[in-house]
Amino acid sequence: MRLLRHPAIHWAIAVVVGGLFVYASLDKIAKPADFARIVYHYRILGPLPSNWLAVTLPWVELLAGVLMISGVWRREASLVIAMLLVVFMGAVGWALHMGVDIENCGCFSVSGEGRSAGWKLLAGDAAMLVGALALLIARPMEPEAAPAAARTATGRV
């Protein structure tokens, strides 16, 4: 837990998870109608809610990702990203449960080629969720306390 509170670890997790969210938002922002089509494929929401989700969700991803990386409102951005990941995992789990075949999950690309919605995708989302929760729960130490904590965490004295 102390290692998770090290500022460098915090920053590394934020760059990886936040960076993935920023990257994931770009193609969806560029082609909102194509992303809406993918949201339809999940068959959870009707056409109108799917359209609104397809238009707004990528920008929330982008904003939360940028805030997470920059360190501005990092805990709140982590909570937003954690909530989004729970929603994504719920959608993929529902599709798997209902036997809906999603060829492209719409995670990073909205073109024909993309990751299918399956167990690997759930595992990836779960890993990101752990990272987002770590940023949310483990508060970073003050910078002057960090070197000592790092030595303790690695067994050095």
Partner 1 sequence: MDLRWWRVVLIAAVGSALGLSWNLLSGRGFALDRNVLIQEGDQIVEASEAKRRLDAGALFLDARPDAFYGMSHIPGALSLPEDDFDRAYARLEPTLRKNLDIVVYCSGFGCEASHIVARKLKERGIPAVVLHDGLPAWQEHGYPLREGPQP
> Residues 13, 14, 67, 105: which binds partner 1 (CB under 8 A)?
67
CB of 135 vs partner 1, minimal distance in Å: 11
> Residues 22, 26, 60, 87: which binds partner 1 (CB under 8 A)?
60
Tokens in use for 21? 């969210």
Whose Cβ is closer to partner 1: residue 47's or residue 147's? 47
Q: How far apart are CA 72 and CA 55, in angstroms?
A: 24
Nearest residue to 89 (alpha-carbon basis) of 47, 37, 132: 132
Nearest residue to 61 (alpha-carbon basis) of 33, 95, 92, 21: 21
Tally of residues, the chain: 157
Residues near partner 1 (CB under 8 A) are: 29-33, 36-37, 40-43, 46-48, 51-52, 55-64, 67, 73, 75-77, 79-80, 100, 136, 139
